[in-house]
A and B are shown apart, each in its own frame.
Chain A
Amino acid sequence: MQPIAIRDVSLNYDTPGGKVQGVTNVSIDIDASEFVCIVGPSGCGKSTLLNIIAGFLAPATGQISIGGKPVTGHGMDRGVVFQDFAQLFPWRTALGNVSFGLEMKGVANPERDRIAREQLRLVKLEKFTDSFPHHLSGGMQQRVAIARALAYNPSVLLMDEPFAALDAMTRDDMQRLLADVWKETRKTVIYVTHNVAEAVYLADRVVVMSAHPGTVKTVMKIDLPRPRDPLSVEFLDCQKELMGHLGHNTNGAAH
């Protein structure tokens, strides 16, 4: 598991469709095995930042290093989970999807199969190894995506609102599951979300970003013991504090 250093990263770019929300002078240090959530209003550039860390976009200025090694593009030291259920390959079974990274890595078959099954067990889908994605529910597909991103054993897991498209109850289950998976694998996780309760439930630290320009407004440490109780007073206090940082009215209920 590797620490991540993000130094003075900026990227502002124009497309024919208008100016894409960029990031300006973002610096964050993340410890090995730390769970960091990035929250912020729509268009604060949090997804852009994640795409830069993933290596899909190159920053205009600044540098990112993982375990001391500078990031120059996508690489197998990072696993990525997107929001879109369609990220799975429909022509591969759950097991085939999870095996993909191992195949690319050149892991041969009895071993590859064993690891992939093990990962599916980790996300509680061992009964669905031979199902194609379109036979799985949205929550199950996202779990396959998590297993797939973990299977080739990257040191860092990057997640871009992976549960945002799920219904509230499934989302709660998934957050619990992710907390368990993280406890077991101890990956360094960067998790982008706009859901305050989700950030407080999952994160060691929450990076709050603001829009125009997309930059780090504040960083909030969450010291609650795990497993966390979302109904406890301390949890709700944390949520209120985080909403305050986001500029929300703290008298209202959390969503």
Chain B
Amino acid sequence: MQDAVTAIAIADAAPAGRGAERWRLAARNIFPFAVVGTIWEIVAWAGVFPHRLFPPLEEVALSFVNLTISGVLPHHTIETVLRLLGGFALAAVFGTAIGVMMGRSRRAEDILLPLVSIGAPIPGLAYAPLFLLWFGLGNFSSVLLVGFVAAFPVIFNSWTGVKAVKEIWVRSALSMGADDKRLFRYVILPGALPYILTGLRLGLAQAWRILVAVEMLAAVPWGLGWLIFGARKFLNTDAMMAGIAVIAIIGLLLEKYVFQKIENYTVVRWGMVAK
């Protein structure tokens, strides 16, 4: 009993000596980027590629700032993020629902699993022409396609998660009088949450991949994908790099301020996933 108390006390006492620890952590995170950045600079200044195709980082940074000030980059970013969130929301809602249904009902599993298994390994971009023919060019079909493609990992992981819910939790809940509905809500869902969160994370990555490509095909006037592919035509490598940087930054922000926050508040706090 005493052990647990001490363990909690130690965990709470951690902030002491935090400053030095923080610096070390920051240095460790920055180091790999510094290495790659240096190599990039060397290649750029050595003239291995024509200057226009391989600009040094300071030119990329300059064009990033210029594009941001002029409002071009923010406009592209907002359009892309809206499509991303729209598609991802579809994938999250329907993917989780379908996956959980497959995990819960033998019948749903028998019907849906073959379909999902065949659909999942097909590259998302291969579906793009179909969606564009059926739903036309533009936002509607790109959001729909993003949702469709991103749903697969969400479905698979929610399905696995429900199957992995411990039998002993179910038995405990049943013996305490839980009916089907409450068993689902209070036991199956939280029990499957570590897997569901993994599925959502993979789904978001999938959504990014397909969205950037489809923005070029769907003939939308704005969007980071459009920016990157469009910049190629005019050899605007610096604008291309700026677009890629924005994608990386958004990905990092979503990971750090959405997924990790949710995880820390749920599965990590519950000890179901190691920090």
Instruction: Give chain A's interface residues, CB within 8 Å of chain B.
Output: 54-56, 74-76, 78-80, 82, 84, 86-91, 100-101, 103-105, 128, 131-137, 139-140, 148-149, 152
Chain B 192-210 per-residue mask, 1 if CB under 8 angstroms from chain A, else 0: 0100000000000000000
Q: Give the contact stretch, choosing among B22-30, B136-144, B149-157, B171-179.
A: B171-179
Is A82 a contact partner of B172 (Cβ separation < 8 A)? yes
B179 — which chain A residues lie within 8 A by C-beta? 104
Per a CB cutoff under 8 Å, which of B169, B175, B187, B190 touches A78?
B175
Per a CB cutoff under 8 Å, which of B7, B172, B191 touches A87?
B172
- Tell me, yes or no, whether B182 is within 8 Å of chain A by CB: yes
Given A101-B176, A101-B177, A132-B271, 5 extra CB contacts under 8 A: A54-B175, A86-B169, A89-B191, A104-B173, A149-B176
B171 — which chain A residues lie within 8 A by C-beta? 56, 74, 80, 82
Is B190 a contact partner of A133 (Cβ separation < 8 A)? no
B3 — which chain A residues lie within 8 A by C-beta? 137
Is B168 a contact partner of A86 (Cβ separation < 8 A)? yes
The distance in angstroms between the C-alpha atoms of A104 and B183, with both chains bound, is 10
- Tell me, yes or no, whether B272 is within 8 Å of chain A by CB: yes
Is B272 a contact partner of A91 (Cβ separation < 8 A)? yes
Most A C-beta atoms less than 10 A away, residue of B7, B172, B173, B269:
B172
Is B271 a contact partner of A140 (Cβ separation < 8 A)? no
Given known A-B contacts A100-B186, A132-B269, A140-B4, A87 and B169 have beta carbons under 8 A apart: yes
A-B residue pair count with CB separations less than 8 angstroms: 84
Is A152 a contact partner of B177 (Cβ separation < 8 A)? yes
A149 — which chain B residues lie within 8 A by C-beta? 175-176
- Tell me, yes or no, whether B260 is within 8 Å of chain A by CB: no
Category for how many chain B residues contact A: 20 to 34
A-facing residues in B236-275 (Cβ within 8 Å): 266, 269-272
A88 — which chain B residues lie within 8 A by C-beta? 172
The distance in angstroms between the C-alpha atoms of A100 and B174, with both chains bound, is 11
Question: B interface, by DSSP: helix, strand, loop or mixed?
Answer: helix
Question: A interface, by DSSP: helix, strand, loop or mixed?
Answer: mixed
Is A136 a contact partner of B272 (Cβ separation < 8 A)? no
Q: Which residue of A lies closest to B168 (CB)?
A: A87
- Tell me, yes or no, whether B8 is within 8 Å of chain A by CB: yes
A90 — which chain B residues lie within 8 A by C-beta? 270-272
Of the A-B pairs whose beta carbons lie under 8 Å apart in the complex, a sample of 22, sorted by A's number, is: A55-B175, A75-B177, A80-B172, A82-B171, A82-B172, A86-B168, A87-B168, A87-B172, A89-B169, A89-B173, A89-B186, A91-B266, A101-B176, A104-B182, A128-B4, A132-B269, A132-B271, A136-B4, A137-B4, A148-B172, A148-B176, A149-B175
B187 — which chain A residues lie within 8 A by C-beta? 89
Given known A-B contacts A86-B166, A104-B177, A135 and B8 have beta carbons under 8 A apart: yes
Is B8 a contact partner of A91 (Cβ separation < 8 A)? no
B271 — which chain A residues lie within 8 A by C-beta? 90, 132-135
The distance in angstroms between the C-alpha atoms of A86 and B270, with both chains bound, is 12
A206 CB, nearest partner CB in chain B, Å? 25
The distance in angstroms between the C-alpha atoms of A79 and B171, with both chains bound, is 11
The distance in angstroms between the C-alpha atoms of A148 and B176, with both chains bound, is 9
Is A134 a contact partner of B176 (Cβ separation < 8 A)? no
B244 CB, nearest partner CB in chain A, Å? 39
Is B177 a contact partner of A76 (Cβ separation < 8 A)? yes
The distance in angstroms between the C-alpha atoms of A206 and B169, with both chains bound, is 29
B166 — which chain A residues lie within 8 A by C-beta? 86
B118 — which chain A residues lie within 8 A by C-beta? none
Q: Which residue of A lies closest to B5 (CB)?
A: A127
Is A104 a contact partner of B178 (Cβ separation < 8 A)? yes
Is B270 a contact partner of A91 (Cβ separation < 8 A)? yes
